[in-house]
């Protein structure tokens, strides 16, 4: 990487700091841990600068992949493809979608709490889908699991969120 490319690379990855931090906070559920994750991530990013290949999507998916690897290695999590719990979700009949009558603009705090309470693997894919607007295949690449597993985890995460928000609707006399 020559000097102008280094400068450009530096700009590109530093501009993604808020997004990387945001994902780190929700993965770790701790701002303190998130700071450590982000710092370790960027250490690896700058060490691996020569391996970065620019795409139309920008550096964000690449950065997220590194963040995931850092998070997993810290937490001692192996990359598990198609764990039994995910297969069960695929095979059981899906319950009917609970229709929600909600003022969606007023439930941010409850949504935030519901997301934080999701199991790690479900929260992970949900964030990449909802917040970063990534496609299933992109999420699979970042998380290192098959696309079918991404889909089943995402499906289950959305079910759990909907069930949680159904309680909100009931409390407010809307369901």
Please report, as ranges, the residues that interact with other proteins according to CB under 8 A: 1-4, 6-8, 10-19, 21-22, 25-26, 35, 38-39, 42-43, 46-47, 49-50, 56-58, 60, 93-97, 99-100, 102, 104-105, 107-109, 111-112, 115, 126-127, 129-136, 146-148, 151, 154-155, 158, 161-162, 165
Q: Of 76 and 96, which CB lies nearer to other proteins in the complex structure?
A: 96
Rounded to a whole number of angstroms, the minimum distance from the CB of residue 76 to other proteins is: 24
Closest among 172, 48, 52, 156 to 94, alpha carbons compared? 156
Please check whether residue 45 is in contact with residue 13, taking contact to mean a CB–CB distance below 8 angstroms. Answer: yes
Rounded to a whole number of angstroms, the minimum distance from the CB of residue 132 to other proteins is: 6
Q: Name, in order, each residue with C-beta under 8 angstroms of 171's C-beta and a sequence gap of 6 or more.
A: none
Rounded to a whole number of angstroms, the minimum distance from the CB of residue 45 to other proteins is: 9
Rounded to a whole number of angstroms, the minimum distance from the CB of residue 141 to other proteins is: 14
Supply the DSSP string of 147-165, one letter for each residue: HHHHHHHHHHHHHHHHHHH
Q: Of 14 and 79, which CB lies nearer to other proteins in the complex structure?
A: 14
Please check whether residue 67 is in contact with residue 40, taking contact to mean a CB–CB distance below 8 angstroms. Answer: no
Neighbouring CB atoms inside 10 A of 54's CB total 12
Q: Of 73 and 99, which CB lies nearer to other proteins in the complex structure?
A: 99
Q: Of 47 and 76, which CB lies nearer to other proteins in the complex structure?
A: 47
* Cα-Cα-Cα-Cα dihedral sign, residues 127, 119, 28, 112: positive
């Amino acid at each position: 990487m020559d000097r102008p490319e280094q400068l450009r690379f530096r700009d590109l990855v530093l501009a993604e700091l808020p997004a990387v931090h945001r994902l780190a906070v929700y993965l770790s559920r701790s701002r303190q841990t998130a700071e450590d994750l982000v710092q370790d991530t960027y250490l690896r990013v700058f060490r691996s600068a020569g391996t970065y290949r620019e795409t139309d999507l920008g550096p964000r998916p690449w950065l997220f992949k590194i963040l995931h690897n850092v998070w997993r290695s810290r937490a001692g999590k192996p990359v598990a493809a198609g764990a039994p719990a995910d297969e069960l979700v695929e095979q059981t009949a899906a319950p009917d979608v609970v229709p929600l009558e909600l003022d969606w603009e007023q439930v941010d705090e409850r949504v935030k709490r519901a997301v934080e309470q999701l199991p790690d693997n479900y929260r992970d894919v949900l964030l990449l889908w909802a917040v970063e607007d990534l496609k299933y295949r992109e999420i699979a690449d970042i998380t290192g699991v098959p696309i079918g597993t991404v889909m089943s985890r995402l499906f289950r995460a959305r079910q759990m969120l909907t069930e949680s928000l159904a309680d909100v609707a009931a409390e407010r006399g809307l369901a």
